[in-house]
């Protein structure tokens, strides 16, 4: 039995998130790239969006529930898009304009206050925005932005689909 329209879209969103996480884990553990705080923020958005989509897929709520899931997913996808845009903007800036990076591990060791972590993520650091990998002339944040725009479109389509009686 084929899933209804909105559940199929949630399945596509979940699949896109899963693909993005598999690629990011491969690049970290197999290739050896160290994720920056902005990369980690994008990963958290992918995980949150994937979890929301999987929950919506398995829950199969009514029309209002699908609207709620789609709206929340749209917000998370928009947050990931903003994080990717911020990283691209920081990478495009002059090289000496940011302070030294203290380490991508600052988010992992739990010794920093939430405000310091947010400042690190939003303001960026010099070594954390180095372009260390590219494919077809595009950097990792640019690929991430493309994925988030695709997921944003799917979430928007899912939300718009809720207004039509046949979806």
Domain membership of residue 167 (yes or no) is no
What's the total number of domains in the chain?
Answer: 1
- Please report the pLDDT score of residue 78 as a whole number: 92
Domain membership of residue 146 (yes or no) is yes
- What would the pLDDT profile of 19-76 be if each residue is shown by its tens digit? 989 988 898 888 888 787 888 888 899 999 999 989 988 887 787 887 888 889 889 9
- What would the pLDDT profile of 107-141 be if each residue is shown by its tens digit? 455 555 556 555 655 555 544 566 665 657 777 88
Q: How many CB atoms lie within 10 A of CB 164?
A: 9
Domain membership of residue 166 (yes or no) is no
Please tell me the total number of residues recorded for the chain in this structure: 167
Residue 164 scores a pLDDT above 50:
yes
Asked whether the beta carbons of 51 and 10 are under 8 A apart, the reply is no
CA distances from residue 162 to 65, 80, 154 in whole angstroms, order as listed = 10, 23, 12
Per DSSP, 15 falls in state: H
In the chain, the percentage of residues whose pLDDT exceeds 70 is 66
Q: Can you tell me the distance from the alpha carbon of 60 to that of 81, in angstroms, rounded to the nearest whole number?
A: 27
Domain membership of residue 60 (yes or no) is yes
Range of the domain at 94: 5-161
56: domain CATH number? Answer: 1.20.1550.10
The confidence band for 100, taking pLDDT boundaries of 50, 70 and 90, is very low
Q: Dihedral sign for Cα 144, 150, 154, 160, please.
A: positive
């Amino acid at each position: 039995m084929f899933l209804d329209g909105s559940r199929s879209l949630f399945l596509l969103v979940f699949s896109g998130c899963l693909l993005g996480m598999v690629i990011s884990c491969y690049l970290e553990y197999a290739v050896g790239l160290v994720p920056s705080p902005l990369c980690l923020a994008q990963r958290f958005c992918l995980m949150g969006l994937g979890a929301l989509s999987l929950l919506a897929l398995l829950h199969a709520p009514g029309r209002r529930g699908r609207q709620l899931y789609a709206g929340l997913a749209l917000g998370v996808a928009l947050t990931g898009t903003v994080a990717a845009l911020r990283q691209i903007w920081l990478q495009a800036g002059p090289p000496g304009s940011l302070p030294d990076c203290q380490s991508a591990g600052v988010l992992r060791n739990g010794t920093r206050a939430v405000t310091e972590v947010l400042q690190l993520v939003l303001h960026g650091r010099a070594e954390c925005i180095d372009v260390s990998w590219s494919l077809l002339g595009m950097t990792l944040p640019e690929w991430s932005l493309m994925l988030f725009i695709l997921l944003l479109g799917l979430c928007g389509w899912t939300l718009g689909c809720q207004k039509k009686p046949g979806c």
